[in-house]
Structure 1
Amino acid sequence: MATTNGNTKPVALVIGASRGIGLQVAIDLAASGYAVVVAAKSYSTSAVVEGPFPPDPNSQQSTINTVEREIRKAGGEAIAIRVDTSDPVSVEELIAKTIQKYSRLDAVIYNSGAIWWASVEDTPYKRFQLMQRVNVEGLYATVQAALPHLKRSETGGRIIVVSPPIYSRFFRGKTAYAMGKVGMSVLTKGLAMDFERQGLSDRMAITSIWPAVAIESAATDKFTREDPSMANDLRKPTIFSDAILAMLRAPTSVVNGQLELDEDFLRRHAGVMDFSKYSVVPGTSPRRIMPAELPDLTVKEQDDEGRRHDSSKDIKGKL
């Protein structure tokens, strides 16, 4: 497929790519042969920064513009496009600009997220609302805008969502946050079923990914500054990008609708057994924060599931 600028590489859109995990994913996708659209709200008017380049990947100096520059300096293809995932119009413009630039879209990685961990009583409504807009609503807007283009992908459209497995302990102490993040995982499950029903699951897939061990990021920097020993329990973000690349290479039958942990996926499907290279502090064995075994969400169906109804057919021709 030829494009407006002569690019024939598969195109990956990474949303939430200015720092930390998203930055690493964008860099590694580019190194693996993708043209990368680096998207986030954090941007700078100039890609030139004071001091050493590239800047600290978890600092305010790291923006979509510096990430684009870093990829290009390494010989990769990238473009930075600002997006506010709480605004569906901004999301639609991001997809439109991506297609205008490359005329194709093959993979979307949704890493954008708003975090607030507290009880329901201690979570203001405006904070709750922001998390839903950035997390689950932002993902939904992205998927709807991207789907028509992903369906035309010659390599098969893929969506990777940073959202967790669904299990009881995840809700504890962060109900408002969990409502949005689990909602994102429900979208993964539901859209995967849509792909199957529409006969697209042989070439399209959506997968959720979550860290089994805490990953070094801007959020963890705060804690390691207060207590440097906490770095012993952190892994580098390269484990996440390695897992995402493995998911993109895997057959759709392996990944469609799955809620995966980075470590477990790499062990089962990429043959990784030694994870020591991912430890932030060499020689340490970071503590796993996720359960060793997660619940199976499937159920034993009765003979008659009941009649399915498609509400969209109720309004066709009425709008």
Structure 2
Amino acid sequence: MSPQRVALVMGASRGIGRQIAIDLAQDGHAVMLAAKTTSDASKTSPFPPDPNSPQSTINTVEREIREAGGCAATVAVDVRDVAQIQHAVDETVRVFGKLDVLVYNSGAIWWSSVEKTPLKRFRLMQQVNPEGLYATVQMALPHFEKNGWRGRIVVVSPPIYSRFFRGKTAYAMAKNRLTGGTGKVGMSVLVKGLAMDFVRQNRTEMAITSVWPASTIESAATEHNRASDPSCRKDLRKAKVFSDAILAMIHAPPATVNGVLDTDEDFLREHCGVSDFSEYSVIPGSTPRRIMPAKFPTLEVAEQNDEGQRMDSTKVKAKI
């Protein structure tokens, strides 16, 4: 029997990605789990493994979902390789028959100053973050078209504001007319731009949304920090807060979320009526410090209605 909805989660092996996949499955989605690392889940002991450890892979997540009665499959993919991305998207449709939801959680991270960020590390982040996202979205769009332009794309990328650049410029650099370069903010620019395309093309049942943690989420990175400072756990939230926000975004009307750059906490508060976030604290009774500003700048400005003649490079190229 064909499942009601099919989701492809890029970066589903551990931490946030694992939680998103598990919650999508519990919500009734068939989930294709995609990431680079694989393992023999039948030999993993103890099971389930620590979700923030290297022992957690797409295969162990698949086993978790299946043992809980859900529907899941896996595909190995290195998002630096366009052919592997194409295979992951095609395999999702081959196995489950369609694609309704795409979640791009893949990411490379290096937070440091420009002088302490090697060029090799910078290039890795560009390949995995904006380039991997762009390729994945491009390859998924034809399948959304086959669905009658009905679907959702959720991108793990930040709202755009000045403090995000502090101490992690290489990670944040965005490829747009304002700053040049590529990076996490470039992913948010793609969200805004593709959302405008959906509106302009009257694809009212499509939506692309960006989500980012308001407070630090427990992950492999934070587990590494815990070794040097155990007290940091009081500022952590469980990955469940993030996946709850994503599920809420997927179920919201397309017009409500298309082009939105939001945080997990703010979306749950404003659209789901959540006021008590204590259940998400890793340390019971603690109040994790918010790492995002209380209010974000709006990107809209007053514009004239007449845009003039819109240039389409594909048509220009055809004439040449």
Q: TM-score, normalised by structure 2?
A: 0.94
Q: Give 1:308 shift.
A: 1.8
- Give the distance between the partners of 1:151 and 1:260, measured in 2 at CA: 26
Please say if residues 151 and 157 of structure 1, whose CA atoms lie closer than 8 Å, have aligned partners that are also in contact. no
Matching residue of 1:3? none
Question: Residue 190 of structure 1 corresponds to which residue in structure 2?
Answer: 193
Give 1:9's aligned residue. Answer: 4
Letter of the 1:291 counterpart? P
C-alpha offsets along residues 257-298 of structure 1, whole Å, 9 cap, x if unaligned? Answer: 000100000001111111000000000111000000110111
Give the SS at the match of 1:121: helix
In structure 1, distance between residues paired with 2:187 and 2:10: 14
For residue 205 of structure 1, report the CA deviation from its aligned partner.
Answer: 0.2
Equivalent residue in structure 2 for 1:147, among 141, 149, 161: 141
- Distance in 2 between residues matched to 1:50 and 1:244, nearest whole Å: 29
Identity across matched positions, percent: 64
**1:252, 1:53 → 2: CA distance?**
38
8 Å Cα contact 1:151/1:204 also seen in 2: no
Match in the other structure for 2:163: 169
Root-mean-square deviation over aligned CA pairs:
1.3
What displacement does 1:151 show? 2.6
Distance across 2 between alignment mates of 1:274 and 1:169: 27
1:65 corresponds to: 59
Report the AA paired with residue 61 of structure 2: V
Q: Residue 317 of structure 1: CA displacement? A: 7.4
Residue 303 to residue 98, structure 1, CA distance change in 2 (3 Å): closer
Task: Report the count of equivalent residues.
Answer: 311
Contact 1:106/1:155 (8 A) holds in 2: no
Q: Is the 8 A contact 1:192 1:256 kept in 2?
A: yes
Counterparts of 1:83 and 1:51, CA distance in 2: 24
**1:114 corresponds to:** 108
Q: CA deviation at 1:303?
A: 5.6
In 1, Cα distance between equivalents of 2:26 and 2:148: 20
Cα shift at 1:304: 4.3
Q: CA deviation at 1:119?
A: 1.5
Amino acid at match of 1:49: K
Alpha-carbon spacing, 1:10–1:317, altered in 2? closer, same or farther (3 Å): farther
Is the Cα–Cα contact under 8 Å of residues 160 and 206 in structure 1 kept in the other structure? Answer: yes
1:295 lines up with 2:294 in the alignment: no
Instruction: Determine the C-alpha separation between the residues in 2 that align with 1:113 and 1:303.
Output: 37
Letter in 1 for 2:89: I
Give the match for residue 69 of structure 2. Answer: 75
**TM-score normalised to structure 1 length:** 0.95
User: Which of 3, 26, 34 does residue 31 from structure 1 map onto?
Assistant: 26
Q: Is the 8 A contact 2:149 2:206 kept in 1?
A: no
* Runs of 5+ consecutive residues of structure 1 not aligned to the other structure: 1-5
Q: 1:305 to 1:29 in 2, by over 3 A?
A: same
Q: CA deviation at 1:108?
A: 0.3
In structure 1, distance between residues paired with 2:44 and 2:190: 41
Aligned to 1:48: 42
How far did 1:305 drift? Answer: 3.7
Would you say the 8 A contact 1:158–1:206 is kept in 2?
yes
Give distance in 2, aligned partners of 1:50 and 1:272. 37
Alpha-carbon distance in 2 for matches of 1:184, 1:28: 24
Partner of 2:75, secondary structure, is strand
| Structure 2 portions without partners, runs of 5+ | 174-182
Q: Mean alpha-carbon deviation: is it higher for 48-57 or for 282-291? A: 48-57
Letter of the aligned partner of 2:141 in structure 1?
A: L
